[in-house]
Amino acid sequence: MADKLDLTDLPVSPSQGGVAITLDAFEVPLPQPGQLAAIAMITHREGASYRPLGAAMTLDIAGNLRGQLSGGCIDADIEIHLRNAVKSTQARTLRYGTGSPFHDLVLPCGGALEVTVYPAPEHKVQDALCTAIRTRKTVTLHATPADLRVEASAENLLALTLQPDPRFAVFGAGPEAEAFARLAAASGYKVRLASPEPAAFVAVDTVALSSSDPLAGMDIDARTAIVTFFHDHDREIPILRDAIRSKAFFIGAQGSQRTARNRQVQLEALGCAPRDIARIRGPVGLIERARNPRVLAVSVLAEALSAA
């Protein structure tokens, strides 16, 4: 299981060179192993930029593009270089903005970007990346001026650690649970809803709650957020008891301040430590007293992602 990682840019030791950063895996959108034809990655930036250092665009062997590196101002040009890279065996670094030879391609945000376009890396690199992403493990990709590799190099431009994307384990019943699950899924995150009434949610990946398995068999890793939406708050106690013992990076529970106090008393009576109970965000959500299910869903999703 992946541990939670710091999202700030960190310096790498001089023996490795370059910059070490951590991104969510979706920032490097990959096709299936062996299907990658070329990849373009932001390897240097000066000033503001639309996408983070290490973000990538990819081209697969069928000619399909994934990802974007700007708000549209340079992506069409990068696409040309990606398609040209398929015919080449050499990487090429492009500079946009300040100091760029491409005077007709302007970066409205100012500053400069350097994008390195690579032909498809070795299959072992693709396999390592895809396997890590599929199994929700962290993996580090080393970008040099010449290639992408999984081994560290003194020529590194970047040491890019990809961590599993956030996902959501939702427990509850009623419109609040459904609104949150739909919103998170529509935002591109994996979501599973455990409910005492699973048949009521036809458009959501849903499983049945069981008193013998409060977390409904869900695999809770360090990049999973747990959120509960119950009006019958007694139902949430066994779920939260197990949740606070898990590696979940975020635990939130719907309810008032009074509900939160009652919840704490009940969990303490079950032998839960106060420091563990304190992991529960409740009342959950950034918007105080949100009662409309849609507003509550936005409020809770924003708070959870701010902790990711």
User: Looking at the structure, do residues 172 and 299 belong to the same domain, yes or no?
Assistant: yes
- Is 54 contained in some domain? yes
DSSP per-residue codes, 273-305: -HHHHTTEESS-SSSTT--SHHHHHHHHHHHHH
User: Looking at the structure, do residues 201 and 132 belong to the same domain, yes or no?
Assistant: no
User: Looking at the structure, do residues 248 and 275 belong to the same domain, yes or no?
Assistant: yes
- Is 25 contained in some domain? yes
Burial of 90 (0-12, 13-18, 19+ CB in 10 A): exposed
Domain end (from 163, 194, 226): 163
Report DSSP state, residue 183. H
- Is 1 contained in some domain? no
User: Looking at the structure, do residues 122 and 200 belong to the same domain, yes or no?
Assistant: no
Q: What is the pTM of this model?
A: 0.86
State the total domains in the chain: 2
State residue 17's pLDDT score: 54
The predicted-structure confidence for 136-161, as pLDDT tens digits, reads as follows: 999 999 999 999 999 988 899 999 99
User: Looking at the structure, do residues 43 and 133 belong to the same domain, yes or no?
Assistant: yes
**Domain span at residue 54?**
10-163
State residue 254's pLDDT score: 96
Sign of CA dihedral 180, 182, 183, 189: positive
User: Looking at the structure, do residues 195 and 151 belong to the same domain, yes or no?
Assistant: no
- Is 3 contained in some domain? no
Helix axes 293-307, 175-186, angle to 10 degrees: 50
User: Looking at the structure, do residues 187 and 294 belong to the same domain, yes or no?
Assistant: yes
The Cα–Cα gap between 94 and 6 comes to 29
- Is 174 contained in some domain? yes
Q: How many CA atoms lie within 13 A of 235 on its CB side?
A: 16
User: Looking at the structure, do residues 186 and 283 belong to the same domain, yes or no?
Assistant: yes
User: Looking at the structure, do residues 24 and 128 belong to the same domain, yes or no?
Assistant: yes
The predicted-structure confidence for 247-289, as pLDDT tens digits, reads as follows: 999 999 999 999 999 999 999 999 999 999 999 999 999 998 8
Residue stretches of the chain with pLDDT short of 70 = 1-17
Cis status, amide bond into 283, omega within 30 of 0: yes
Which CATH number characterizes residue 216's domain? 3.40.50.720
**In Å, what is the CA distance from 186 to each residue of 13, 27, 33, 229, 298?**
40, 17, 26, 19, 12
User: Looking at the structure, do residues 146 and 291 belong to the same domain, yes or no?
Assistant: no
Domain end (from 163, 191, 218): 163
User: What are the residues facing 19 on neighbouring strands?
Assistant: 11, 158
User: Looking at the structure, do residues 147 and 29 belong to the same domain, yes or no?
Assistant: yes
User: Looking at the structure, do residues 70 and 153 belong to the same domain, yes or no?
Assistant: yes
State residue 6's pLDDT score: 32
Domain end (from 107, 142, 163): 163
